[in-house]
A and B are shown apart, each in its own frame.
Chain A
Amino acid sequence: MIKFAEQDRFFISEDLMGLADKLVEEKTFETRVDFLLYAAAYAIRNDLSPAIDFKRHDLGMRASSLPSNLKISFEIIIPKYCEDKSISIPSDPKGLMNTVCCLGVEGARKLSDIWKSMSRSQKLNHILNVEKGNIEK
Chain B
Amino acid sequence: MSFVFKELTLKNWRCYEGTITINFPDISQGRNLIVVNGINGFGKTSLLKSLKFLFHGTSKDEILEAWNDVAKSHGDKSVTVSMTFTHNKSLCKIIREVEFKERGNTALPSESLTLIVDGVERDQAEDKISQWLPKDVQQFVFFDGAEISRYAKKQHDQGVKDAIERVLGIPAIRNLRTDLSRLLDNLEEDQETLVGLEGKSATLIAHINELEALEENYREEKETHLEQKSGIEETLSDLEKEATKIEVIEAERKALLDKKARQSDLQSDLDETEKHISEHIRHAPLYLLLPKLRELESELNAKVKIPASHEKWERLEIVYSDLIENGEKCLCGRELDDKSERHLQEELSKVRSTLEKLKSTSGKGGKKEMTNKLLSVSQIINLYGENQNSASEILRKRSSLNIRLEEIENDISDLNTKLEGHELVEVQELFRQKADLRNRLEELQESLGVLKENMQKTVDNLRDKRRELDQLTIDNAQGHRLVQELNLVRSSQAAVDGLLNQAIEERRNQIEKLSSEVYISITNKPEEYSGVRVKEDYTLEVIRRDGTSVDNTKLSSGEKEVLAYSFITALNRSSITPVPFVMDTPFGHLDSTHREKLLKNLPSLNVQVFLLATDRDLPANERDKIDDFLAGEFEIKRDQAAARSYIEEIV
Interface-located stretch among A8-16, A28-36, A49-57, A87-95 = A28-36
A50 to chain B, nearest CB (A): 15
Bound state CA distance, A88 and B388, in angstroms? 32
Given contacts A73-B380, A77-B289, contact A131 B388 (CB under 8 A): yes
Do B392 and A70 have beta carbons less than 8 Å apart? no
| Contact assessment for A77 and B296 in the assembled complex, using a CB-CB cutoff below 8 Å | yes
Query: Would you list which residues of chain B between 232 and 257 have a CB under 8 Å from chain A?
Result: none
B contacts with A: majority SS: helix
What chain B residues lie within 8 Å of A44 (beta carbons)?
288-289, 292
A38 touches B284 (CB 8 A): yes
CB contact under 8 A between A131 and B391, given known A70-B285, A77-B292: yes
B445, CB-defined interface residue at 8 Å: no
Cβ-based interface call for A116 (8 A): no
- A69 interface residue, CB < 8 Å from B? yes
Q: Is the CB of B283 within 8 A of A128?
A: no
Instruction: With CB as the reference atom, state the residue of chain A lying closest to B282.
Output: A34
**B555 in contact (CB, < 8 A):** no
B286 interfacial contact with A, CB 8 Å: yes
Q: Of A1, A29, A41, A130, which is within 8 A of B369 by CB?
A: A1
* A1-B373, A73-B380 known; A42 vs B288 contact (CB < 8 Å): yes
B: interface residue count bin: 20 to 34
Binary contact readout B288-301 vs A (1 if CB under 8 angstroms, 0 otherwise): 11011100100100
In the complex, which residues of chain A have a beta carbon less than 8 angstroms from the beta carbon of B384? 69
Q: Which residues of B256-314 have CB atoms within 8 Å of chain A's CB atoms?
A: 277-278, 280-289, 291-293, 296, 299
A37 to B282 Cα, complex, angstroms: 9
- Contact: B282 with A41, CB < 8 Å? no
Q: Mark A94-136, 1 if CB is under 8 A from B, else 0.
A: 0000000000000000000000000000001101111111000
A44–B295 CA distance with the chains assembled, in angstroms = 13
Name the residue of chain A whose CB is nearest to the CB of B288.
Answer: A41
Q: Chain A contacts of B172 at CB under 8 A?
A: none
Closest CB of chain B to A83's CB: distance in Å?
11
Pair A77/B285 contact, Cβ less than 8 Å: no
Which residues of B sit under 8 angstroms from A127, Cβ to Cβ? 281, 284
A28 to B274, CA, bound (A): 10
A133 proximity list for chain B (CB < 8 A):
291
Question: What are the interface flags for B346-381 relative to A under an 8 Å C-beta threshold, 1 for contact and 0 otherwise?
Answer: 000000000000000000000001000100110110
B405 to chain A: closest CB distance in Å? 13
Is residue B576 contacting chain A, with contact meaning CB distance below 8 A?
A: no
B187 within 8 A of A: no
Q: Determine whether B394 belongs to the interface, using a CB cutoff of 8 Å to chain A.
A: yes
Q: Report Cα–Cα, A133/B284, bound state, in Å.
A: 12
Task: Kindly state whether residue B108 has any CB partner on chain A within 8 Å.
Answer: no
Given contacts A41-B289, A128-B281, 15 further A-B contacts (CB under 8 A): A29-B282, A30-B282, A38-B281, A38-B284, A42-B288, A69-B379, A73-B285, A73-B377, A76-B296, A76-B376, A77-B293, A127-B281, A128-B284, A128-B395, A132-B392
27 A-B contact pairs sorted by A residue (CB < 8 Å): A28-B281, A38-B284, A41-B284, A42-B285, A42-B288, A44-B288, A45-B288, A45-B289, A69-B283, A69-B379, A70-B283, A72-B376, A74-B289, A77-B289, A77-B293, A77-B296, A80-B296, A80-B299, A81-B292, A124-B281, A128-B284, A129-B391, A131-B287, A131-B288, A131-B391, A132-B391, A132-B392
- The 9 tightest CB contacts between A and B, nearest first, are A41-B285, A131-B287, A41-B288, A128-B391, A45-B288, A37-B285, A38-B285, A41-B289, A72-B376
